[in-house]
Amino acid sequence: MPGLTLLNSNSAIANSSFDQLLDSLLFFNEYDKAVSWNEGSTAVGYTGYEDYPVTVYDTYEFVIALEGQLYDISDEREAVHTVAEKLLADDIGWVREWLLERDAEFILVIIEKDTGDTVVLNDALSRLPIYTYTEEQMVYLSREMAFILENADVEPDSMGVAHYLLFGYPLGERTLYEGVKQVPPASVIRISDGELVSDQLHQFDIEEKTHADKSIEENTSNLSNLIVETTQRRTNSGTNVVSLSGGLDSRALAACMTTNEIPYVAATYNRGTSTASEVEAAEEVMSVLDGEWHEYQLEESITEHRDRLLELKRGMNTVGMGHILEFFERLQSNFEDNVTYFTGDGGAKFSSWTPPRNFVSNDEIIEYLLADQTRCPMELVEELSTHSRGEIKASIHERLESYPESDAGQRFVHFLIRERSLKWGYHGEDRNRYYFWSTAPLYAYPVFKYAMRVPDSQKKQNKLYSRIIESYSADALDVSYANFNAPVGSLEYKLKSSLYGLASKRPSLRETLIDKFVRSDSKVDEMTMQSIQENAQIVNEYPSVFAPSSIDELINEKGLYSSQKSAEYLLTVLLMLDEL
């Protein structure tokens, strides 16, 4: 990922040494590097393409490196200098209040010149994933997992791998690599003499529905206006590209931008039968919005894109998404420099981030998660992993216990946000940023705060969401919703949605219905199957991670080859291990 990298030691770091280390992060010809500070025991630099947002402010007291955007700040230099002073003075109360008022996606690195002490701050939702690792009085902090893996002695994290196979992402601060942590939201990290101390200033609590006293019409109006404001702040003078699917999230964004005369073009990729309904809906949306739309027919998945994605994300994004790199390459070729890529990520907060049923305990949540949210079956993960089912469930229980909500249903929703979104969805967005700045207005912190305080009753069956979209364009809302092959306002949608809601209380029943009526054939493709077989023996080199069994036998016995998604996550792990 383009962006900041920091190295700190209890001894001096040679200028030439750190500069050379950054070379391994120059993934594309248009990438460049810069060293912002290399004095004494601390070195800070960054890599990326010309338009990637990193700004360095060199003042009398500090070197301040800002990655990302402070969208609601007019005088950025003054703002970050004030934050630096408050952080170094340990005025945490002021910093917390400032942070929670921001519409921002950023990482701030501050070095006090006199002492060399370093402080790092990220935004309230940790929109830009960043990793830390400490060994032998050496601290690594980087936006690039590759920087740590290429320069430190790192082993796979056995529980992180188990989580990844099970859910598609490790839980909490875990990654696939032992000791390598993904920094949580709203964190202050202090680094000095090869040691790191991290404190989380704020953990969101979604239990308080303070907007329950407002009508759905008032909440719709307030959220619609917030989305307009946050979208306008994110536009640039170049080309704004909306990644348009057949779903509601990107549609809401396109309708918002059209109605408010925010210039953009829409783009959709086509992979044949599997995306036919998405492409058809996207084309119709842009027809009723009377906007510019580009369709990109992608080739079959190729090993080159798969391997490139593994090189970039080091397992934090499944190799099954390798095809999207061709989409990005085509967009780059079409629109050249200064592209801002808009996605509809974060729209789930208006609808599906609600408890599917009444939970009374963490044990009930865990059983539901294992039935509803898994990538590989628990039976397969248990036999592949060195961890027992009980140990894996205990680790999930520990995460649920760490959340602030007392209501079990809201803890379930917290899991969807803190784990699924921050540890899975964010890495998809971060993959985009290797090519151009990618942003999601529906994830803007002001929108997030407001939406999570709206009562769940207003979100059921897309009641709130459909009103938000309708406030921008009723015609766009009337286009068929690809997930249900019916317009949201239609009787067909209401019947299907009601059935889906009832089935959500019993995930196994829902999956049966989806397999029968929605999914196309999900058998593993030949390239994936062959790659698994070619790399299966790597598990024997990691007895602390994988149980001593024949992976081929387990795959066949547990039916892994009946699921493309399961196979892609297993292949990602195998290829990741082979790269260590």
Domain spans, the chain: 3-200, 216-351+420-486
Please name the residues in contact with 42: beta carbons below 8 A apart, sequence gap of 6 or more. Answer: 6, 7, 8, 13, 111, 116, 118, 191
d(C-alpha 349, C-alpha 220), whole Å: 13
Q: What is the pLDDT of residue 508?
A: 60
pLDDT, tens digit (0-9, with 9 covering 90-100), for 37-90: 999 999 999 999 999 999 999 999 999 999 999 999 999 999 999 999 999 999
**pLDDT of the residue at 510:** 58
Token pair listed for 328: 């990005």
What average pLDDT score do residues 416-436 get?
Answer: 97
430-444 pLDDT per residue, tens: 999 999 999 999 999
**pLDDT value for 521:** 47
Higher per-residue confidence, 506 vs 265: 265
Amino acid letter, residue 31 = Y
What is the model's pLDDT at position 300? Answer: 72
Instruction: Give the C-alpha distances (Å, rounded to integers) separating 507 from 368, 371, 415, 510.
Output: 7, 6, 17, 5
Q: Note the pLDDT tens digit of each residue in 451-479.
A: 999 999 999 989 999 999 999 999 999 99
Confidence of residue 501 (pLDDT cuts 50, 70, 90): low
Select the highest-mean-pLDDT range: 117-126, 497-506, 532-541: 117-126
163: Cβ contacts below 8 Å, ≥ 6 apart: 169, 170, 171, 174, 392, 395
Mean pLDDT of the 263-291 span: 94
pLDDT of residue 559: 54
Q: How confident is the model at residue 529 (pLDDT cuts 50, 70, 90)?
A: confident
Strand pairing report for 195-200 and 131-135? unpaired
- Under a CB-based contact definition with an 8 Å cutoff, are residues 467 and 220 in contact? yes
Looking at the predicted structure, is the pLDDT value of residue 356 above 60? yes
Q: What is the pTM of this model?
A: 0.94
Could you tell me the pLDDT band of residue 205, with boundaries at 50, 70 and 90? very high
Instruction: Note whether 3-200 and 216-351+420-486 share their fold.
Output: no
How do residues 143-180 score in pLDDT, each as one tens digit? 999 999 999 999 999 999 999 999 999 999 999 999 99
Instruction: Round to whole Å and give the CA distance between 357 and 376.
Output: 23
In the predicted structure, residue 206 carries a pLDDT above the cut 60: yes
Q: Which residues contact 433 (CB under 8 A, 6 or more apart)?
A: 1, 2, 52
For the record, the structure tokens of 467 come out as 């009103």
Residue 522 has pLDDT above 90, yes or no: no
Question: Residue 56 belongs to what H/E stretch?
Answer: strand 54-58
What distance in Å separates the CA atoms of residue 197 and residue 180, rounded to the nearest whole number? 14
Q: What is the pLDDT of residue 557?
A: 60
| CATH top class, domain 216-351+420-486 | alpha beta
pLDDT surpassing 50 at residue 519: no
pLDDT of amino acid 548: 76
Which of 181-185, 276-280, 423-427, 533-537 comes out lowest in average pLDDT?
A: 533-537
- CATH class name, domain 3-200: alpha beta
CB 395 within 8 A of CB 188: no
Output the CA angle 296-298-303, nearest 5 degrees. 150
What CA–CA distance (Å, rounded) separates 189 from 118? Answer: 8
Q: How far apart are CA 579 and CA 156, in angstroms?
A: 11
The stretches of 173-319 forming alpha helices (DSSP H) are: 216-234, 249-259, 276-289, 303-313
Return the SS3 of 428: helix
- pLDDT of amino acid 423: 97
- Return the beta strands (E) in 123-214 as ranges: 131-135, 138-142, 181-182, 187-192, 195-200
Cα 18 to Cα 42, 44, 98, distances in angstroms: 10, 9, 33
CB 63 within 8 A of CB 36: yes
Q: For position 14, what pLDDT does the model report?
A: 78
What does pLDDT average to over the chain?
92
Nearest to 316 by CA among 179, 157, 164: 164
| 500 has pLDDT over 80 | no
CA separation, residue 108 to residues 41, 99, 114, 355 (Å): 19, 12, 19, 35
Q: In which residue are the tokens 């290797």 written?
A: 434
What 3-state DSSP class applies to 404? coil
Say how far apart CA 156 and CA 574 lie, in whole Å: 11
How far is Cα 301 from Cα 70, in angstroms, rounded to an integer? Answer: 37
CA-CA distance, 239 to 153, in Å (whole number)? 42
Give the integer Cα–Cα distance in Å for 314 and 310: 5
* Sign of the alpha-carbon dihedral angle for 357, 363, 368, 374: positive
Name which of 193-207, 345-359, 416-430 the model is least confident about: 345-359
For the record, the structure tokens of 498 come out as 């009601």
Residue 350 has pLDDT above 70, yes or no: yes
Burial class (CB in 10 A: 0-12, 13-18, 19+), 504: middle
Across 506-511, average pLDDT: 61
- Tokens 């305080």 sit on residue: 453
- Positive or negative torsion for Cα 402, 418, 210, 91: positive
CB of 118 within 8 A of CB of 108? no
Q: In sequence order, which residues have a C-beta less than 8 Å from that of residue 308 and are 6 or more positions away?
A: 322, 325
* Residue 264 predicted with pLDDT over 90: yes
Residue 275 has pLDDT above 70, yes or no: yes
Contact yes or no for 423/168 (Cβ under 8 A): no
User: Residue 393: which H helix or E strand, with range?
Assistant: helix 389-401
Report residue 7 as tokens: 């190295």
SS3 assignment, position 340: strand
- pLDDT tens column, 179-197: 999 999 999 999 999 999 9
Residue with tokens 């979209």, as numbered in its chain: 469
Band of the pLDDT at 505, cuts 50, 70, 90? low
H/E element, 552: helix 551-557
Transcribe 452-507 into DSSP letters. TTS-GGGTGGGHHHHHHHHHH-HHHHTS-BTTTTB-TTSHHHHHHHHHHHHHHTSH
Question: Which of the four pLDDT bands, split at 50, 70 and 90, describes residue 515?
Answer: low
